[in-house]
Copies of this chain bind each other. A is one copy, B any other.
Amino acid sequence: MIRKHIVLVADLAGTVVFAIEGATTAIHAGLDLLGVLVLSFIVALGGGIVRDLLLGDTPPSAMRDWRYPVLAFVAGLVTFVWHAQVEALPALLLSTLDAAGLALFAVAGAEKALEFGIHPFMATLLGAITGCGGGVVRDMLLSRIPMVLVADIYASAALLGAAVLVVARRLGCPPAVAATLGGVVCFALRVAAVRFGWQLPKIA
Instruction: State which size class the interface on A falls in.
Output: 35 or more
By beta carbon, the residue of chain B nearest A38 is: B149
One digit per residue, 1 when the CB lies within 8 angstroms of any chain B CB and 0 when it does not, for chain A 53-69 equals: 11110111001101001
A31: chain B residues at CB < 8 Å are 145, 149-150, 202
Interface residue A78 (Cβ < 8 Å from any Cβ of B): no
CA distance A141 to B138 in the complex (A): 11
Binding site for B on A (CB under 8 A): 26-27, 29-35, 38-39, 49, 53-56, 58-60, 63-64, 66, 69-70, 80, 83, 116, 118-119, 121-122, 125, 136, 140-146, 148-151, 155-156, 199-203
Cβ–Cβ contact B122 & A66, under 8 A: yes
Kindly state the separation between the CA atoms of A79 and B55 in the bound complex, as whole angstroms: 30
With contacts A53-B53, A80-B203 known, what are 9 further pairs, Cβ within 8 A? A30-B202, A32-B151, A33-B201, A34-B200, A38-B155, A54-B58, A59-B122, A63-B118, A69-B121
Cβ A145 vs Cβ B141 within 8 A? yes
Residue in B33, B34, B150 whose CB lies within 8 Å of A30: B150
Asked whether B202 lies within 8 Å of A33 as measured between CB atoms, the reply is: yes
Nearest residue (CB) in B for A29 is B145
Q: Which of chain B's residues have a CB closer than 8 A to the CB of A149?
A: 26, 31-32, 34-35, 38-39, 141
> Assuming A34-B155, A56-B58, A59-B54, is B145 touching A145 (CB within 8 A)?
no
Tell whether, in the assembled complex, residue A202 and residue B59 are in contact, meaning their CB atoms are under 8 Å apart: no
From the candidates B54, B59, B201, name the one contacting A32 in the complex (CB within 8 A): B201
- CA of A144 to CA of B116 in the docked complex: distance in angstroms? 35
Nearest residue, chain B, Cβ from A142: B145
Shortest distance from the beta carbon of A125 to any chain B beta carbon, whole Å: 7
7 chain-A/chain-B pairs, Cβ below 8 angstroms = A30-B150, A32-B150, A34-B149, A34-B156, A54-B58, A54-B63, A59-B118
